[in-house]
Amino acid sequence: MPVNAAKLTELKEIARRLRIDVLKMLNKAGSGHSGGSLSAIDIITALYFHKLRHKPADPEWADRDKFVLSKGHGAPALYATLARAGYFDPQHLMTLRQYGSMLQGHPFSPTTPGVEVSTGSLGQGLSMANGIALAARLDHKDIKIYVLLGDGELQEGQVWEAAMSAAHYKLENVCAIVDNNGLQIDGWVKDIMSIEPLADKWRAFGWEVQEIDGHDFEQIITALDKADKVKAKPSLIIARTVKGKGVSFMENQAKYHGIAPTDKELAQALVELGTS
C-alpha cells in the first residue's frame, strides 16, 4: 500500500527539525558525532514517528517495541528524537555531554528516558537485541526489536556471531538496519576493511534482506512493513545513506565523523536547513 503523502511530508519536516536540533546541541557541547547522527536521522524518524509502538509518557510500558542504537556514537540523533517525541523536555538537549547531564556522549539507559540499553562499544547492539527478542518469546510478548548498526561497525566479529544466533533461533521479531553511509572515522569503509558483498553475506547467514535508500521515507516505511511479514527468520534492511546528510560541507566527509560544527559552520548549516 502506498504511503500517505501527508505522512511523508510530516516525516520530512520532523527530520529537518531534528537535524537542526542535532547540530545546535553538538555546537553547544563543542564535541560529538555529526556525520553519523545526520545520516541516521531519517531512519530513526520513521521508527519513532511512524512505526514503533511506544508511549513517551510511559517509557517502561510492558508491550512497547524496542529500539537499540548499536552505533551509540549516533546518540545526538536519538536524543533529539526522544525529546521531540515527548520523552523529556527538549531544553535538556543543550546539556549534551555536560557533567551530570542526563544526555551523555553515548546512550546510557539509567539516566535517559526512552533509552533501552547503554551502547557505545561497537558490535554489541545486535547481541543485546537478540537477548531482548528471546526474553520476549519466553514472556509471550508480541513485540518487535529494531537495532541500528553502522557499516563500519560490521567489521566487528561479534556482529556476525549475533547474526548466526538470530537466524539459528529464528528471531522473526528482530529487524536490524544498517546505516550504510560508507564512511567510518578513518575514511571509506571499503578502503579500511571492505564489508561487501553485504547483502549476500547476510542472506548466507540466514536473514531476509532488503536494500533501500535510507533517506527516502516511502522506501524506509515500505521496508519496515515488509519486515513485519517475515516469518521464522530475522530481517535486515541495508539503508544506503550519506554521512552528514542535509549539510553540504559535511556530506561524504569522514572528518565530520566525530567533530561538532563551529559557530560559523552551524550558521551555514542552519541556512541550508531553512532556519537561522
The DSSP-derived string for the chain is: -PPPHHHHHHHHHHHHHHHHHHHHHHHHHT-S--HHHHHHHHHHHHIIIII----TT-TT-TT--EEEESSGGGHHHHHHHHHHHTSS-GGGGGGTT-TT-SS-SS--TTTSTT--S---STT-HHHHHHHHHHHHHHTT----EEEEEETGGGGSHHHHHHHHHHHHTT-TTEEEEEEE-SEETTEEHHHHH---SHHHHHHHTT-EEEEEETT-HHHHHHHHHHHHT--SS-EEEEEE--TTTT-TTTTT-GGGSS-PPPHHHHHHHHHHTT--
Q: What is the pLDDT of residue 1?
A: 62
Predicted confidence at residue 73, as pLDDT, reads: 98
Domain total in the chain:
1
d(CA 274, CA 276): 7
Burial of 34 (0-12, 13-18, 19+ CB in 10 A): buried
For residue 221, give its domain range.
5-272
* pLDDT at res. 3: 81
Alpha carbons 181 and 76: distance in angstroms, whole number: 17
User: What pLDDT, on a 0 to 100 scale, did the predictor assign at position 2?
Assistant: 73
**C-beta of residue 179 within 8 angstroms of C-beta of residue 74:** yes
Phi, psi of 183 (to 5 degrees): -125, 150
Give one word for 246, left, alpha or beta, with left for phi > 0 and alpha for psi -120 to 50. left
- How many other CB atoms sit within 10 Å of the CB of residue 13? 12
Q: Which three cell numbers stand for residue 88?
A: 523529556
Q: How far apart are CA 216 and CA 160, in angstroms?
A: 28
Q: Which three cell numbers stand for residue 204?
A: 548466507
| pTM of the model as a whole | 0.97
- How many angstroms separate the first and last alpha carbons of the chain? 38
- What is the spatial distance between Cα 166 and Cα 28, in angstroms, rounded to a whole number? 40
Q: What is the CATH number of the domain that holds 59?
A: 3.40.50.970
Q: Which residues of the chain register pLDDT less than 70?
A: 1
